[in-house]
A and B are shown apart, each in its own frame.
Chain A
Amino acid sequence: MFRSALSAIFRALPAEAAQAHCDGPCGVYDPSSARVAAEAVLSMTKKIKAIEAPAAGDAAALAAYNNTFSRYVAIKEEEATKAKKELMILWTDYFKPDHLATFPDLHDTFWKAAKLCSACKVNIDQGKAEELMAAVEKIHGMFWQSKGRNDAWVTAS
Chain B
Amino acid sequence: MNTPLPAAGLKDLLLFFLGRRRLFQVEGDSMLPALQPKQRLLVKLRPHDGRSPSPGTVVVCHHPSNINLVITKRVWQSNDGWLELRGDNPAASTDSRQFGQVSLEQVIGEVTAVISPTGRHSDGT
Q: Which residues of A pack against B, CB within 8 Å?
A: 3-4, 6-11, 13-24, 26-27, 92-93, 96-97
CB distance from A95 to the nearest CB of B (A): 9
| A62 to B9 alpha-carbon distance, docked (Å) | 78
Q: State whether B29 touches A26 (Cβ < 8 A).
A: yes
Q: State whether B8 touches A18 (Cβ < 8 A).
A: no
Q: Which residues of B pack against A, CB within 8 Å?
A: 7-10, 13, 16, 22-31, 35, 37, 40-42, 60, 63, 69-73, 87, 91-94, 97-98, 115-116, 118-119, 122
Once A19-B28, A21-B27, A21-B92 are accepted as A-B contacts, the answer to whether A13 and B16 lie under 8 Å apart by CB is yes
| A91 to B60 alpha-carbon distance, docked (Å) | 26
| A10 to B43 alpha-carbon distance, docked (Å) | 13
| A20 to B60 alpha-carbon distance, docked (Å) | 10
Other-chain residue from B10, B28, B94, B97 in contact with A97 (beta carbon distance below 8 A): B97
Q: State whether A11 touches B119 (Cβ < 8 A).
A: yes
- Which A residue's beta carbon lies closest to that of B93? A22
CB distance from B6 to the nearest CB of A (A): 12
14 A-B contact pairs sorted by A residue (CB < 8 Å): A6-B10, A10-B8, A10-B42, A16-B25, A17-B70, A18-B71, A19-B28, A19-B71, A20-B27, A20-B29, A20-B87, A21-B28, A22-B94, A24-B94
| A27 to B69 alpha-carbon distance, docked (Å) | 20
> Which B residues are in CB contact (< 8 Å) with A21?
27-30, 92-94
> Which A residues are in CB contact (< 8 Å) with B73?
20
Most A CB within 10 A of own CB, among B42, B92, B94, B118: B94
| A97 to B63 alpha-carbon distance, docked (Å) | 19
Other-chain residue from A11, A16, A18, A93 in contact with B98 (beta carbon distance below 8 A): A93
Once A6-B8, A96-B97 are accepted as A-B contacts, the answer to whether A20 and B91 lie under 8 Å apart by CB is no
> Which A residues are in CB contact (< 8 Å) with B31?
20
> Which B residues are in CB contact (< 8 Å) with A10?
8, 13, 23, 40, 42, 115
> Which A residues are in CB contact (< 8 Å) with B8?
6-7, 10
